[in-house]
């Protein structure tokens, strides 16, 4: 059984509605959430909070996209990073693995799938 209350998750998501869905889903788990709205911000929040346990990374982010931000963050520390993608054909799944993501979730995000995936990496 995971003690979510001791965990920190960074959600890198530029679209408010997508972020609010994740925030609402995770509310009952009492986890500490950080939000970044650009790739640059995701990197800086992670640098300031190296004890973050997991990152949910939108691929399409302003300034620095999710692929680049993930490469930079992974070069700092091997924190689990789950890609959030709008569309994940087989070719793109390989691209995601090569980019260093640990896993991916396809939007629109289903609550049960999200929680299962987070529990796998926390
Ligand atoms: Mg986006």
The predicted structure's pLDDT at residue 5 = 92
Q: What is the CATH number of domain 4-121?
A: 3.40.50.2300
pLDDT > 70 in the chain, percent: 100
The predicted structure's pLDDT at residue 76 = 97
Residues with CB under 5 A from ligand 1 (ion): 14, 58, 60
Task: Calculate how far, in angstroms, residue 21's C-alpha sits from the geometric centre of ligand 1.
Answer: 14
Distance between CA 86 and CA 119 in Å, rounded?
22
Task: Calculate how far, in angstroms, residue 60's C-alpha sits from the geometric centre of ligand 1.
Answer: 4
User: Is 99 a residue whose pLDDT tops 80?
Assistant: yes
The predicted structure's pLDDT at residue 86 = 83
31 pLDDT tier (thresholds 50, 70, 90): very high
Task: Calculate how far, in angstroms, residue 1's C-alpha sits from the geometric centre of ligand 1.
Answer: 32
Task: Calculate how far, in angstroms, residue 120's C-alpha sits from the geometric centre of ligand 1.
Answer: 24
Distance between CA 50 and CA 99 in Å, rounded?
21
Q: Which residues pair with 106 in a beta bridge?
A: 85
Distance between CA 42 and CA 66 in Å, rounded?
9
Task: Calculate how far, in angstroms, residue 56's C-alpha sits from the geometric centre of ligand 1.
Answer: 12
pLDDT > 90 in the chain, percent: 80
DSSP string, 72-116: HHHHH----EEEEES---HHHHHHHHHTT-SEEEESSPPHHHHHH
User: Is 61 a residue whose pLDDT tops 80?
Assistant: yes
User: Is 93 a residue whose pLDDT tops 90?
Assistant: no
The predicted structure's pLDDT at residue 58 = 96
3-class secondary structure, 62 = coil
If you average pLDDT over residues 99-108, what whole number do you get?
91
């Amino acid at each position: 059984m995971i003690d979510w209350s001791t965990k920190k998750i960074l959600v890198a998501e530029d679209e408010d509605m997508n972020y609010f869905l994740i925030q609402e889903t995770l509310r009952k788990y009492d986890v500490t959430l950080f939000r970044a709205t650009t790739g640059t911000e995701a990197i800086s929040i992670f640098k300031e909070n190296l004890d973050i346990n997991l990152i949910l990374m939108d691929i399409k982010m302003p300034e620095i996209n999710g692929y680049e931000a993930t490469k930079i963050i992974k070069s700092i520390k091997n924190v689990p990073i789950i890609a959030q993608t709008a569309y994940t054909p087989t070719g793109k799944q390989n691209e995601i693995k090569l980019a260093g993501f640990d896993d991916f979730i396809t939007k629109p995000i289903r609550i049960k799938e999200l929680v299962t995936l987070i529990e796998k990496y926390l």
